Each structure stands twice: as C-alpha cells, then as structure tokens.
C-alpha cells in the first residue's frame, strides 16, 4: 500500500520547522478535510498524512501554516506576512507508491518536490 508523508525545513535558519500545522484535503467535487497534524522537532509528522485504504489516486492539497510558524519564532517579520499559508496541490496517480512532499520555506519563498 502507498502512503503520503511530508516534512518542513526552515531554509532561512537552516533547521527543521517544528510545530507547523499541516492539513490534508482531497479535492473532488468538494474540498474535503482528511487530516490535520503538526510537525515534530525534526520538522516531520509522527505518522503518514495518508496511508492504508484511505490512500487513493486523486488530487490533494497540503496546507502548511508557515506564517504562524515564522510569527511565533521570528517576531521581526512584517504584517501581513509575505509567505503565510502555503497551499500545495498535487496528484496521486499510483496507489502503491510512496509520495513524499516536503516543504522548504523561508519568510520570503518556498519550494517543494516529490521526494523519496
């Protein structure tokens, strides 16, 4: 069975981003919340965002509360934040594969890729 995992790295400070709230939505006829979680001290989740029978092909969104993370750790940021809620929409085509979708984020930019 496949699974979906993620992690968050703070590229501005060169460290894992701890305590980032992450939500997973399935995009179908409607946007359906599947799970909410928070990164640990290593910037990872303690369990996959999606696995077992719930892991199905389709379109999904991971929503990271990066602005809240930077506001709580770096009080010298302007308001409104340049990078706040980061929404990554992606597709899962193979129900047997591992999809790892990391977020590399700073107060001024972000990037992602399909990891392993």
Q: What is the pLDDT of residue 76?
A: 81
Q: Per-residue confidence of the chain (116 residues) as pLDDT tens digits? A: 899 999 999 999 999 999 999 999 999 999 999 999 999 999 999 999 999 989 999 999 999 999 999 999 876 888 999 999 999 999 999 999 999 999 999 999 999 999 98
All structural domains of the chain with their residue ranges:
3-107
* CATH architecture observed for domain 3-107: Sandwich (2.60)
pLDDT of residue 75: 66
**What distance in Å separates the CA atoms of residue 2 and residue 111, rounded to the nearest whole number?**
23
Q: Is 27 left (phi over 0), alpha (psi -120 to 50) or beta?
A: beta
- Give the count of beta carbons closer than 10 Å to the beta carbon of residue 105: 24
Q: Is the pTM of this model over 0.85?
A: yes
3-class SS at 67?
A: helix
Query: How many Å apart are CA 73 and CA 29, to the nearest integer?
Result: 37
């Amino acid at each position: 069975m496949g699974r979906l995992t993620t992690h968050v790295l703070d590229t501005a400070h060169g460290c894992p981003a701890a305590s980032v709230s992450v939500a997973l939505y399935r995009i179908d006829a409607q946007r359906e919340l599947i799970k909410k979680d928070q990164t640990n001290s290593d910037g990872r989740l303690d369990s996959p965002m999606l696995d077992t029978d719930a892991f199905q092909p389709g379109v999904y969104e991971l929503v990271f509360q990066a602005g809240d993370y930077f506001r709580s750790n770096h009080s010298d940021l302007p308001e409104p934040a340049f990078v706040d809620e980061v929404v990554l929409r992606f597709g899962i085509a193979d129900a047997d594969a591992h999809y790892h979708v990391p977020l590399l984020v700073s107060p001024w930019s972000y990037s992602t890729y399909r990891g392993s």
